[in-house]
Chain A
Amino acid sequence: MNTSDSEEDSYNERSALVQSESPTIPSYNQDHDMSLPQETDTKRVSRQRRPVSSGLAEPEPLEREQASTPDGEEEELTLKYGAKHVIMLFIPVTLCMVVVVATIKSVSFYTEKSSQRLIYTPFEEDPNSVGQRLLYSLLNTIVMISVIVFMTIILVVLYKYRCYKFIHGWLILSSLMLLFWFSFMYLGEVFKTYNVAMDYPTLVMIIWNFGVVGMICIHWKGPLRLQQAYLIVISALMALIFIKYLPEWSAWVILGAISIYDLIAVLCPKGPLRMLVETAQERNEPIFPALIYSSAMVWMVGMADSSNPDSADERRRNEGGARAQEGVESEDDVAQGGRRRYSAEEDLEEDRGVKLGLGDFIFYSVLVGKAAATGGDWNTTLACFVAILIGLCLTLLLLAIFKKALPALPISITFGLVFYFSTDNLVRPFMDSLAAHQYYI
């Protein structure tokens, strides 16, 4: 099966962990909306913000004053919410892994080796010769990583030169493929496994509804939880495709190589992912929501002026999780003004959440899924799961310390790989012997 290039690119730049934007720019609030602001929309809103802001000259300096709170206070805030953010990422990562492992263990389709391969791993591994297998897996990795690097560079170049329509089209194509074609395949395999009879009209209706709601939630506006659920589902689907179509040894080498690439791409000054994140932050735009999972919960703790009906509206809209329509502009202006007015007084209490790229979800799930696929040992799967979570925890700790976009793959994947190979080869025989004699440690 030849996968299209679109989702190739759509996951590669998803491997970045971006800290929540600094709490000093209250207007950024707007950008946490799950809706993908069409560029014209953003420009329209920001153009309107300026007249609003000039009208509210007084709160503005107040905001800036609070913007320059001493570092210690900001650090305190960041670390105070640190544990909560970690859990807000643990849950979706765990859910994605659970979906992948459950599918792998029950639906045999994803563990059957087929003769088809992705075009990105053209060399077929020969199980008989170790040296040749190793060589071919290295070559496959080189091909795959070069494709990823190439796609990322193209994406960054397009983003820099503001070819937003092209990028949106690309992303929409890739999500279309994931939401319709891959989920159709998945559903088909699940039905085959459980021997469920299904007719095409029902299936078409299910897939159509699933896909269309998914497209709307991911690329436009939708309830936060639904959008998060869809992002988890498409990451799981993508991970399952990788587990099926990547050859055995190539998959492990690719996992290692991509975490090294992630490290370079996000930390090096000229790294593509870093440039992408910095450009997005410069322009005050969110990175495409189709690529990033956001755990953003925006709430205003305490109301400075509860009699202000606009702020109350804003709060209700935010708490509802639904993203308000920016249809009526005057209402939006007033709402913006209202929010900025009291957010200036209360912005210390806002929580921005933290974002994790979808590529990270995908590769974590690939690692755990492959651990579950090879052999019937659950201990290996569990060990990889714990290792990845601890790696994520450490990465978030570093994020709290350094306060800039960090790669989320290296630490977790390293731990995961170490634990996979050591548990599979060392711990498994030990635990099996213990279980055979019923000795307990």
Chain B
Amino acid sequence: MTLAVFFGCAFIAFGPSFALFVFTVAKDPLRIIILIAGAFFWLLSLLLSSLVWFIAIKASNSQDLSLQRGLLIFGVFFSVLLQEVFRFAYYRLLRKANEGLAAISDDDSSTISVRQMAYVAGLGFGIMSGAFSMINILSDSLGPGTVGIFGDSQYYFITAALMTLALTLLHTFWGVVFFEGCEKSRWWVIAAVVGLHLLVAGLSLLNPLYEGSLPPVYVITLMMGVWAFFSSGGTLNSLNALCTRRKAEAESS
């Protein structure tokens, strides 16, 4: 039972991101480096926000539970803002690196485009965010016993896995859209991304009322997926071409 929960939740939470990694990132060394550096930047943002939260906690009365909860919520929102700041910082770093790569290559163009870097950076953020949210829970799910003895929801593991999946995909889409917005200097796009991230974090505050948090988050994920697709240059025609080409190939074979 526990093993089934472990594998099920692991595959739900990490399956798509692992597949994305294997099929799109693993073959290109530069992308792997950008992915890991993205994970590092996310980690830095988490570190700083934890520091702020820790200081706030230590400076306050540890007996006052509602205050502690309020500080935690403040910590959540502050962390979201800091993540977006670090995403912007990573964007700047990648732009500089891209210029450097272009300068030293043969034909004055870098081997990787800003859009690819946006996708990989978003994926890096997403994988690290997902790993940090989920790994401890996964390792606990293996252990003897399960959650729910004190009246907590029995759906803890699966909702955690679903939420992690949504966040990983969201980070990927946000990366694409964010970098595109920075490139085209469309600041409303950046504001929208930050706003949506805050919204998703806020929705997660509704847990354990899972009906209030999971479906809206998935709706937002789908919307962001569509937005990212169109923002990175996809069109309905290309989708159409993809389908008809497949059909044509299937017919000809």
Contact = CB atoms under 8 A, between A and B. Distances in A.
B136 A86 contact: no
Contact of B43 (A84, A87, A383, A393): A383
A426 B208 contact: no
A390 B36 contact: yes
A80 B103 CA distance: 12
Interface in B27-54: 29-30, 32-33, 36-37, 39-40, 43, 46-47, 49-51, 53-54
A430 B204 contact: no
Interface stretch (A191-199, A281-289, A353-361, A372-380): A372-380
Nearest to A423: B47
Interface in A415-441: 419, 422-423, 425-427, 429-435, 437-441
B7 to A, nearest CB: 17
B10 to A, nearest CB: 12
A329 interface: no
B132 A382 contact: yes
Interface stretch (B76-84, B183-191, B225-233): B76-84
A90 B156 CA distance: 35
Contacts of A331: none
B220 interface: no
A145 interface: no
B201 interface: yes
A159 B167 CA distance: 56
A265 interface: no
B104 A440 contact: no
A440 B204 contact: yes
Interface string A213-243: 0000000000000000000000000000000
Given A79-B104, A84-B29, A379-B136, A441 B40 contact: no
Interface residues of B, number: 49
Nearest to B160: A438
A435 B204 contact: no
B205 interface: yes
Interface residues of A, number: 38
Nearest to A438: B207
Given A76-B104, A76-B106, A433 B204 contact: no
Nearest to B166: A440
B33 A393 contact: yes
A434 B164 CA distance: 13
A235 B37 CA distance: 26
A440 B133 contact: yes
Given A377-B136, A435-B136, A440-B133, A430 B159 contact: no
A423 B54 CA distance: 12
B6 to A, nearest CB: 13
B122 interface: no
Given A427-B46, A435-B136, A439-B204, A386 B79 contact: no
B160 A439 contact: no
Interface string B74-118: 011001100100000000000000000000111000000000000
B63 interface: no
A86 B29 contact: yes
A419 B128 CA distance: 14
A383 B39 CA distance: 9
Nearest to A84: B29
Given A379-B132, A386-B39, A438-B208, A430 B29 contact: no
B243 interface: no
A422 B131 contact: no
Interface in B118-134: 128-129, 131-133
B133 A378 contact: no
Nearest to A87: B29
**Interface secondary structure of A, over-half rule:** helix
B137 interface: yes
A83 interface: yes
Contacts of A84: 29
Given A76-B104, A390-B40, A426 B50 contact: yes
A389 interface: yes
Given A76-B105, A83-B33, A382-B131, A437 B50 contact: no
A440 to B, nearest CB: 4
A17 interface: no
A75 interface: yes
Nearest to B68: A433
A387 B132 CA distance: 14
A427 B44 CA distance: 11
Contacts of B73: 439
Contact of B83 (A86, A423, A441): A441
A390 B37 contact: yes
A25 to B, nearest CB: 24
A64 B200 CA distance: 63
Interface of A: 75-76, 79-80, 83-84, 86-87, 90, 376-379, 382-383, 386-387, 389-390, 393, 419, 422-423, 425-427, 429-435, 437-441
The 4 closest A-B pairs by CB, nearest first: A438-B207, A83-B29, A440-B204, A87-B29
Given A83-B29, A426-B54, A440-B164, 7 more contacts: A376-B139, A377-B136, A393-B33, A439-B73, A439-B76, A440-B201, A441-B83
Interface of B: 29-30, 32-33, 36-37, 39-40, 43, 46-47, 49-51, 53-54, 57, 69, 72-73, 75-76, 79-80, 83, 104-106, 128-129, 131-133, 135-137, 139, 156, 159-160, 163-164, 167, 200-201, 204-205, 207-208
23 contacts: A79-B104, A90-B32, A378-B139, A379-B132, A379-B135, A379-B136, A383-B43, A386-B43, A390-B40, A419-B43, A422-B47, A426-B47, A427-B46, A427-B50, A430-B50, A430-B75, A431-B50, A432-B136, A437-B207, A438-B160, A439-B73, A440-B167, A441-B79
